[in-house]
Structure 1
C-alpha cells in the first residue's frame, strides 16, 4: 500500500475491499447494526450494488472458488511458521518485540529458498526485521532458530542480548527437546507400535526428524554463542 507500484497498490486495495465486503455480509446476521454501519461506509463498486447489507445476498462458498489456491495457502502457512518461530525466539532471548533484528533464512532446498524469497517482505514486516536475506551459509554472530527439519532462521544477537543468559536458555531448550525425543522414541519402541494408525506413525516420524534437527541446531547455537564471546 505504501509502495510506488500502482499495480500492486490496486491489487492490495481490491483484496482489502473484497475481504471487507464478504466479511461484513458474513457477520451481518450476528452483528446487524455494526455490519450495516460499516457497509454504508464502503464505496459502491457497481451501479446495481444493494443499498443495504440487509438485502445483500449471503455469500455462497462456490462464489469464491476462484480465489482458492492451495499452493499459495501452503506457502503462506510456511511463512507464518517462520514468523511465529522468529517472534518466539525474540521473546526467549528477551528481545523487545519492536526491536528490529538482522535475520538470515537458511535452507539447503532450492524450492524452499525460492518460497522464502517470495515471502521475504512479509516475513521482514511481521517478524520486525531490519535486514533479511535467504542463504545457504551460517552467518557470523547469529544463533539458529529451527523452523523445521529443512529450514533455519538465524538471528543476529551481538549487541542485543546477554550472551550468557542466551546460553542458559538454549541449554534448557536442548534438555526439553531431549526429553520429548526420549518420550517419543519410547512410544515408538513399544511392541504394540505396529498397530498405531499409519498417519499417526508418519506424524511421529516427522516429529522425530524435527526434534533431531532442533537438537543439532541448538547445539550449534551454543557453539556460535561461545565463538561470539571470544570475538
Structure 2
C-alpha cells in the first residue's frame, strides 16, 4: 500500500467532495443541428458577430460539438416532457400531457422528475416569447430580431444554441447581429466574486452617483468584446458630465421663459455662433448615428462628451449670452430658438445613455410629444452645413484662447482689461474679425481693440500667431523681452516638428498612393498653415532680438 497525494474536486457551493455518479440522462443529438448552422454561417447567410473575431470562437464550438445532455436534477425549470408507464416501463415523449389524452386512459403514468437544462429553455427565447409555435402578429413583426447583446463567455451556452434551435424550428436565424460585450472587472482586472470580496453593488453606485452616471460610464467606457475595469473615478466623471448637462439646461430654461415649440424659428439671419452650433449639431448627429449603427459606444460617448462639454457649454452658451442679454430683440429671439432646438436634439442623442436626466429636462423644454423616448432621432441635414461659420468660429476661438494663454503666462487676470492688436493675413480675415468684434471684446476683455492690415507693431508686446492672423498684446511693464523670445523659440520648435512631420508624411509614396484625396488635401493644408505660422514666429523673434 502506497499513499498518493492527488487533487480531489469539491463543490464550489457546499465544499463537499465531488464523487462520480452513474445515472440515466436525456441527450440531444447535436451533429445534424450543428451541420445546418455551420452551412448557413459559411454560406454568408448567418449571424454577424461584433467584433467579428468571435465568429471563429462560435464555429470552433459547433464544429467540435458533442451530444448535449439536457436533463438536470433541480427543483426548478421546465419539466422533461417524458412519462413512464409504471407497469410496462414504456417511455412516452409528448408535447401534451398524456394523462389527459384518451388513448392513455387507465394507465399508470409518471412524469420524469428531471427538468430541462436552463440553456435549453433559453435557446427557445427569440421565438417562444413571441407566441411560437402559433403564427402570432408579434412573431410576424419582430422575428427575426435585430441584435442580441451578450457576453463572450456564453457564446456556446446561449448564442449557438439559439441559432441552431431557431434554424431547426423556424428555418431562420434568430437575429442579424450579435454584439459581444466584455465582463465588468475590478480596478485590478480581477473578476468580481464573493470569495474575493471585490464586487460592487450597482445599487450602491446609484445611491452615490445616480443611475444615469453609472449607465453612461458602463455603456461608453469599453469597446465591443473588451472587459471593463470598474473605477470609481470614472463614475464620478460621468456624474460631473450629468451635472454639466443639468446646469447648462437650467441656464437655457431660465432664458426660454414663455417660448413655445411654435415660436422656434432657426431660419433667417443668424449670428456666427448660432450658425456654427447648428453645423456642429448636424455633424455630431451624423457621426453619432454612424457609430451607434457600428456599435462603437465608446467612441459615441467621446463625441457626445466633446460636443456637449466643449462646443455647447464652453463656447456656444457663452457666446449666446451676448444676444440673450443684449438689446437686439430679434437677435435674442433667434438665439433662443437655436438654443432650444440644439438642446432638444442634444438630449435626444444622449437619451439612450442617460434616459432619466434627459427625459426630465426635455419635459421642461419647448417640445411636441409626450416623451423624449418617442421623439424622432436627429437626422443629418445638408442644409445645416456651414463651413463659413466654422471658419469664423475657429478663428475667434483661436484668438480668444491665444489671448487667455498669454494672460496666464504673464499673470494678467481676466478681470483686468488689456489692449489687443490684430494683424489679419488678408481682407477676408479682417472682415471676419470686424464682423465679430463684439465677441473678441467680450471674451478677451479689451480696453482697446484694433484690427488692420497695416499698423506699427509695438516693441514691448506679447505675440501669438493663429491661423490667418498675428496677435499683439502691448503689456508695458509686464513683458520681459528675454522671456518672450524664449517662449517664441519654444513655439518655433513645436512648429518645426509639425512641419517636418507633415512633410515626411507627404513625401511617403506609400501614404500618397493609398490615402484618400481628401486626407491628402487636409495634410497639404496643415503643411501650408504650419509653414505660415513658422515664418511669422521667425519674423517676430528677429524683431524682438533687433
CA contact (8 A) 2:419 2:448 kept: yes
Structure showing greater relative contact order (alpha-carbon pairs closer than 8 Å, 6 or more residues apart): 1
Secondary structure of residue in 1 paired with 2:416: coil
SS at match of 2:370: coil
Q: Deviations over 1:52-74 (max 9, x none)?
A: 21221221113xx3322111111
Question: Gaps (5+ residues) in structure 2?
Answer: 1-323, 513-519
Task: Give the drift of 1:209.
Answer: 2.6
1:171 aligns with 2:171: no
How far apart are 1:94 and its partner, in Å? Answer: 2.0
CA apart distance, 1:89: 1.6
Alpha-carbon separation, structure 2, partners of 1:221 and 1:9: 45
Match of 2:408 in 1: 91
| Residue 4 (structure 1) aligns with | 327
Q: 1:50 to 1:221 in 2, by over 3 A?
A: farther
TM value normalised by structure 1: 0.77
1:60 aligns with 2:379: yes
Check conservation: 1:177, 1:215, Cα contact below 8 A: no
Provide the rounded CA distance (Å) in 2 between the counterparts of 1:207 and 1:214: 10
Counting only pairs closer than 5 Å after superposition, residues 205-220 of structure 1 correspond to structure 2 as 205-220=528-543
User: Does the CA contact (< 8 Å) of 2:462 and 2:484 recur in 1?
Assistant: no
* Matching residue of 1:104: 421
Worse overlay, 72-81 or 200-209: 200-209
Equivalent position SS for 1:30: coil
Q: Using the TM superposition, give the Cα deviation of residue 126 of structure 1 relative to its aligned residue in structure 2, in angstroms.
A: 2.4
Question: For the Cα contact (< 8 Å) 1:146–1:217, is it kept in 2?
Answer: no
Against the structure 1 CA distance between its residues 99 and 30, is the aligned structure 2 distance closer, same or farther, given a 3 Å change threshold? same
Tell me what 1:143 maps to: 462
Report the alpha carbon displacement of residue 143 of structure 1 after superposing the two structures with TM.
Answer: 3.5
Question: Matched residue pairs, number?
Answer: 211
Instruction: Give distance in 2, aligned partners of 1:127 and 1:105.
Output: 12
Q: CA deviation at 1:117?
A: 0.8
C-alpha change, 1:29 and 1:218, in structure 2 (3 Å) is same
Gaps of 5+ in 1: 224-231
Whole-angstrom distance in 2 between the partners of 1:142 and 1:176: 17
What CA distance in whole angstroms lies between the structure 1 residues aligned with 2:375 and 2:496? 57
- How has the CA–CA distance of structure 1 residues 5 and 188 changed in structure 2, closer, same or farther, with 3 Å as cutoff? closer
Are 1:101 and 1:155, in contact at CA under 8 Å, matched by a contact in 2?
yes
State the partner residue of 1:120: 437
Q: 1:130 to 1:41 in 2, by over 3 A?
A: farther
The CA deviation at 1:212 is: 1.7
CA contact (8 A) 1:25 1:53 kept: yes
